[in-house]
Amino acid sequence: MSTLVGKKAPQFSANAVVNGGEVVNNFSLEQYEGNYVLFFFYPKDFTFVCPTELHAFQSKLNEFESRGCKVVACSTDTEESHWGWLQMEKADGGIKGITYPIVADTSKTISMNYGVLCGDYDYNEDGEVVATGPMIAYRGLFLMDKEGVVRHQIVNDFPLGRNVDEAIRMLDALTHFEENGEVCPANWVKGGEAMAESHEGVAAYLSQN
């Protein structure tokens, strides 16, 4: 997998479920031009770690939106599967109450273009096309700036759930840099001390911390 950091995010057009139950065609991230976008992949609907992540992002959705950031999820399931899972109560393992868009990457091309698809297509000895893996997405997360350039990405294996507060911290770091021209050192949090991007700035910061 090659990094997308510093590159324009791959564009796509696909079906998605928005507002907890409305199926829309030709959904794309281009509609969010001028906003930050947090685009994350999860492996499968009706699973175990995945609903904890989707609900965790929903619980902090206001924090993303207050920072001008749109949250969008994606998996290789169909829009019908997404819709069905959205009707299931949280207590039963469902994701009812999720309002941000969930993209249906049924062609698996979105996951492939973002470098998070687990598996590939190959030919067996009989010349038949076979899949070399489960053909579902790893837990990829991509933060895009207002111009659609990827500024941060992480990819977790299936068993490892992500930290939503860390995603917010990275968004805060990006906005701080853009607004102030200061870089953000290790463990920086919003309101903390940043530093000038120079040898003098590093020396001054390290001398005080």
Q: Catalytic site residues?
A: 50
Q: Which of 146, 106, 117 is nearest to 16 (CA)?
A: 106
Q: What torsion, rounded to 10 degrees, do the Cα atoms 103, 109, 113, 119 define?
A: 110
Q: How far apart are CA 17 and CA 177, in angstroms?
A: 33
Residue 87: CB partners within 8 Å, gap ≥ 6? Answer: 21, 94, 96
CA 54/CA 92 separation, integer angstroms: 14
